Amino acid sequence: PTLFSHLPRYGGDPILALMDAFSRDPRPDKVSLGIGLYFDEQGRLPVLSSVRQAQEALLRNGGPAPYLPMEGSASYRQAVQELVFGAQHPAVLDGRIATMQSVGGSGALRAGADLLRTQLGCTQVVVPDPTWDNHFALFEGAGYQVGGYPYYDTATAGIAFDAMRRFLATLPARTVVLLHASCHNPTGMDLDAAQWRELAGLFAERNLIPFVDMAYQGFGDGADEDAASIRLLADAGLEFLVANSFSKNFSLYGERAGGLSVVCRDAAAAEAVLGQLKVTVRRSYSTPPAHGAALVGAVLQSPELRALWLQELTTMRQRMRDMRQALHAALVARCGQAHDFGYLLAQRGMFSYTGLSPDQVRRLRERHAVYLVDTGRLCISGLTSAAIDHVADAIAAVLE
Ligand code: PMP
């Protein structure tokens, strides 16, 4: 007998499998709307000018590659905090937030889950139904039971807020509640300010622990606007966690740059939290990767590069809005009033939840070489002006 030959085969990630099928597809008019990456109007992953300039300066300065501290680069951590909460937020000024550099948004979710598990004994988390699939794996891997709370209402293509609120009110104290800050993946439907305010009250009253995931800051309405939900929870005096990612908004996927911020009651508690986060890091990967954080930190700390990045972020956001409008117009032109495509305009960020069935998604792929995720999630940034007519023809055909 050998040690490993009996191991079950890994089924693979369905979205990555879809990508593989796409790249093998010989049809010239194929369109990839599956994976959640931001592509530019030419269909390429962009290299942002702000990032390129930071990169060039970094190369010019050369230098060795020492270990970073367990919690990551101090200047980067500061920059993360200011971008997420706003430089003038009282929680930032009071030193009440413990922020560590994380291995992307995923690493932040895992580190936060570990902290809550080991230090507070949390074992229950609820995530929106539906949510990013990896939320299940990340929390289960950290020893949690993962449940769903009502979020998206298929019938109205809106938020099932009443059901959500009623469900959350039944949870035991110290249940972790995973929330998307904005640009919800996969539905593109976000809570409004009044709903966040109501939830803030509920979290306080029921002693629930909000854990906000922000993977698309700036892709919805703007960098500050998309973080408004987080700032509202901080204003309400709650203690909570935020995982943020720079994979999409800096187009730095493989660099694994993110942050975990824990908002505490006072600076002493934040210091204790940071210490325990170091423990969490030390016993898994020891210290974080340096390069991506150096790039993001350099951009955020330079007034010129920061301004340039904000412009580039606006360009990306605007392009996604333009694609929403173009696809909406093209579908209305083909289908008239037979179907309501208003969801394309109501949803925010990189994804649109089309309501197409798995069978319709299959027909899109097989007959028209248009690739969506089985759930009907369409990645808006996979669209280009050149592809709109083909995609609209295909969707109109499968809706008939
Ligand atoms: N949260 C959500 C909602 C996401 O969509 C993603 C990325 N797909 C992440 C977290 C993780 O981001 P990262 O690649 O930086 O780990």
> What digits encode the pLDDT tens for the residues 301-337?
999 999 999 999 999 999 999 999 999 999 999 999 8
Please tell me which residue in 132, 196, 226, 309 is annotated as part of the active site. 132
CB neighbours of residue 108 within 10 Å: 29
Q: Work out the mean pLDDT of the chain and round it to a whole number.
A: 96
Q: Which of 138, 147, 220 is nearest to 180 (CA)?
A: 220
The percentage of residues in the chain with a pLDDT greater than 70, rounded to a whole number, is 100
Q: pLDDT tens digit string along 189-228?
A: 999 999 999 999 999 999 999 999 999 999 999 999 999 9
pLDDT of residue 142: 97
Q: pLDDT tens digit string along 27-53?
A: 999 999 999 999 999 999 999 999 999
Residue bearing tokens 């700032």: 231
For residue 395, give Cα distances in angstroms to 162, 344, 348, 390, 392. 32, 13, 20, 9, 5
153 is catalytic: no
Instruction: Give burial (CB, 10 Å; 0-12/13-18/19+) of 88.
Output: exposed
**CA atoms 120, 240, 128, 382: torsion sign:** negative
Q: Do 365 and 17 form a contact (C-beta atoms < 8 A)?
A: no
pTM of the full structure: 0.97
Rounded CA-CA distance 256/288 in Å is: 9
Assign 63 a pLDDT band (cuts: 50, 70, 90): confident
For residue 70, give Cα distances in angstroms to 84, 283, 295. 21, 10, 18
Tell me which of 19, 214, 245 to substitute to probe ligand 1's pocket, judged by most ligand atoms within 8 Å of the beta carbon: 245
213 is catalytic: yes
Show the tokens assigned to 7. 């191991």
Does the complex come out with an ipTM higher than 0.95? yes
Average pLDDT over residues 350-379: 96
pLDDT of residue 355: 93
133 is catalytic: no
3-state secondary structure of 353: strand
Q: Show the ligand 1 pocket: residues with CB < 6 angstroms.
A: 36, 104-106, 132, 180, 185, 213, 215, 245, 247, 258
Tell me 69's DSSP state: P
**CA atoms 164, 166, 171, 174: torsion sign:** positive
**CA atoms 79, 84, 87, 90: torsion sign:** negative
For residue 191, give Cα distances in angstroms to 56, 164, 196, 347. 40, 11, 7, 11
Q: Lowest mean pLDDT: which of 58-67, 94-103, 308-317?
A: 58-67
Q: Is the pLDDT of residue 353 over 90?
A: yes
Contacts of 5 (CB under 8 A, 6+ apart): none
